[in-house]
Amino acid sequence: MLRVVVLMVASFLSFVSTAEAKELARRPFLGIAMKTETGSSGPSVRVDRVIENSSAAAADLRPDDVVVSIDGKEISAQEDVIAAIKPKRAGYVLNIDLLRDGNPISKKVPLIGLPQETSSDFETIYEAVAVDGTMRRTITTRPPKTAKHPAILFVGGIGCYSMESPLDDQEVYRQLLSSLTRQGFVTMRVEKSGMGDSEGPPCATVDLDAETGGYIAGLNELKRKPYVDPDAVFIVGHSIGGIVGPLVAKQVPVRGIVAMETVGTTWFEYELINRRRQLRLAGTAPEVLGRQMQLKQWCMHRLLIERQAREEILRLRPQCEEDMQIPTADAYLQQIAALDLPALWASLKVDTLLVYGSADYLTSADEHVAIAEVVNAARSISASFIEIPDLDHYMTRVASQRESFDRNRSERAAAFHDGLGPTIGAWLRDRLG
């Protein structure tokens, strides 16, 4: 299987600004595609492709080179290469030992920084905010006009991944925020702890409170920008971002919130309903489905209610492993499960848009309607619910939950739903009108 350490090189177009940025070193752009091979002497990692304008290309790494060691550490799997590169930053010089045509050679590889996101019709600004004594990368998009603009803090879904996509302008978050910027909104993303260029402890160890702190710092910084109208700032949250967004708004007031493909009841209840829905989509026999749901209930109760560590739960009942594949820290999930989400939404009293796609098999329309009912009970006619027929959880256009489920299992991507940005933008402009 090929593993690509950065897939391609982005072209530099017109607007990239770092003039106002606080210093934060860029993550490296090694620029090789790799494959693991198994021979008589054991597994090895071979360079399959070298990407133009990358660190590897500048140091004359070549296809078919075998990576023996990096900085003295033996390499036998693609994951070893990634682990060696990930903590480094642009400017660091790697010492790589290779086999080329069976002959040992050594290379010094100065790491260059990953290209930044660019656009021909708006500015992209790379800065940072201080969070708990460390720096978090922020990526802000700014419309070209000089007036003060309304703005959006975007909060993404659960898990540990970078919020920027400099080498893929078709990535769904980037496409959504580009659409909103072209409609006149400043947007900001905040990288999670240890992800992208961000400093801080590993993302997978960070709890909900600490992650929320990064978004609070970003929102405060966004409202201070000279080109932002601080009274016209919104939060747009996707998936778990529809829970984290209200937590941020509880600390820093905003003009309104958009929550899409999210959860509005309790996390424990959501886990069970979501599991049953996916078992049915997978074609699970009825007699098996019951046993699977009992197992899910036991595993989740131990983790979310009794607050046991996953390691301990799996020791007691290894069959829970599939139900424990949630990409975040135990404490993060336990804090989510402890939230009274209806009370949180009721306390905010801000205009709210709930967006659900009927092709989303990971959440339900009922979750979004429940939030709208709570918000409107606290402040009449302040919440709206929109259901988009061919939108799935991944912000792509597909016909049904079945198609989205099958595509995800087979890792077949669909195209971004280009109606999502205009739908959100229209609601935002209406709030400002």
- Return d(Cα 407, Cα 427) in angstroms, integer: 30
SS3 for 350-384 is: CEEEEEEECCCCCCCHHHHHHHHHHHHHHCCCCEE
- Return d(Cα 416, Cα 418) in angstroms, integer: 6
Q: What is the pLDDT of residues 88-144, one digit of tens each?
A: 999 999 999 999 999 999 999 999 999 999 999 999 999 999 999 999 999 999 999
CATH of 123-265+339-432, one of 3.40.50.880, 3.40.50.150, 3.40.50.1820, 3.40.50.360: 3.40.50.1820
Which residues are registered as beta bridge partners of 236? 154, 258
Instruction: Answer for the pair 242, 363: CB distance below 8 angstroms, yes or no.
Output: no
Give which of 123, 239, 135 is closest to 196, Cα–Cα. 135
| pLDDT the model gives residue 8 | 29
| pLDDT the model gives residue 191 | 98
Enumerate the domain spans of the chain. Answer: 2-13+27-110, 123-265+339-432, 267-337
Instruction: Answer for the pair 310, 187: CB distance below 8 angstroms, yes or no.
Output: no
| pLDDT the model gives residue 23 | 75
| pLDDT the model gives residue 7 | 27
Judge if 2-13+27-110 and 123-265+339-432 fold alike in CATH terms: no
| pLDDT the model gives residue 9 | 28
Instruction: Answer for the pair 264, 345: CB distance below 8 angstroms, yes or no.
Output: yes
| pLDDT the model gives residue 22 | 54
- The residues of the chain scoring below 50 in pLDDT are 1-21
| pLDDT the model gives residue 16 | 37
- Give whole-number Cα distances, 301 to 1, 121, 334, 410, in Å: 37, 50, 10, 30
- Return d(Cα 226, Cα 213) in angstroms, integer: 23
| pLDDT the model gives residue 146 | 85
Helix (H/G/I), strand (E/B), else coil: 300: helix
SS3 for 234-264 is: EEEEECCHHHHHHHHHHHCCCCEEEEECCCC
| pLDDT the model gives residue 202 | 93
Looking at CATH, the fold of the domain delimited by 2-13+27-110 is given as: Pdz3 Domain (2.30.42)
| pLDDT the model gives residue 6 | 41
| pLDDT the model gives residue 384 | 97
